[in-house]
Amino acid sequence: MGREGLFRSFLVDIFVLNYQWLYTGAVVAALCAAWIRVERPDGEPIGLPRQGAFLALTLVGLVYVVTRFRPTNAGRYVLLASPIVILLFYHALFSLLASHIARLSCLIVCTALVFLSNFRTLDFVSTSIFGTFTFGSHALLNMPSLTGGLKLDTLVYNFEFLQLEYLFGDMIRDVRPPPGSVLLMGNAIYNFPPDVDGRSYALTADPSRAVPYFVAIGDVKRNVLQSHMHRNGELFFYMAFANADNEQLPNLLKEYALVTKKQYQRHGYTLDLYTFRFTFTP
């Protein structure tokens, strides 16, 4: 993962992601108009007064600060720059548009698009840059596509990510795996799944009430599985999350007996659960 690639991805997060390019476009247009000394329809020249210069310099400084630390392309690392981008956009509208109604219309359209993008992946510019991966009937941005590497939690750019946890909660309440059960998943998730309350099988933030599970990611060998099995023929589970690569699943299907496959669904988002039976003799 090159630092240059992460820097480019952070710039896209700041100036393009989820209709941020609308803000950026207005700012660039205002700068270009000021550079060539264009006048507004009301005869006022488009310039860059002190307030605009201050905001621009502040944004440059913030972009420098938030792009110094580059572990993965997670949008939260650059959120500090977003308020200044919005203020600079608002300032640019005053430079470009003399009509109050025109400025208000632009603000309403941008606000609506940015608000809706918090709940659905709608921005065609973002999808063309990052690409997407399938999450049920939905397509989410493949945030690490510019840098490579595992998805981890870098897809957290809107609330659709929460469906992963909701679906896990639906699955765990339905299956109710007993304490000590083995839960497997692909290697693109960390610090997940959340703890499960042993009384209600609801998700919990209280670890003292959590059911003890053996949760493993990636390629888990037979001897590791066997060390967590209490009897011959015991069941274990594989959760095929949408943001995981799930490269281990074909080998599991070849090596162990598949008992059931069940799909959980919420608003078109899905989670596939594979239930396998483990035997001590292959």
User: How confident is the model at residue 197, as a pLDDT?
Assistant: 94
Rounded average pLDDT over 135-164: 85
Give the pLDDT score at 189.
63
Q: How many CB atoms lie within 10 A of CB 115?
A: 11
Q: Which of 238, 156, 228 is nearest to 193 (CA)?
A: 238
Tens of pLDDT, residues 249-263: 999 999 999 999 999
What is the pTM for the complete model shown?
Answer: 0.85
Question: In sequence order, what DSSP letters do the residues of 67-112 get, joined into one string?
Answer: TS--SS--GGGGGGGHHHHHHHHHHHHHHH---HHHHHHHHHHHHH
Dump pLDDT digits (tens) for 88-137: 999 899 888 888 899 999 999 999 999 999 999 999 999 999 999 999 99
Q: What is the pLDDT of residues 9-24, one digit of tens each?
A: 899 999 999 999 999 9
| pLDDT(146) > 60 | yes
pLDDT tens, 74-89? Answer: 788 888 999 999 999 9
Compute the distance between CA of residue 119 and CA of residue 160 in angstroms, rounded to an integer.
6
Beta strand ranges found along 96-202 (DSSP E): 132-135, 138-141, 182-185, 195-196
DSSP code of residue 39: B
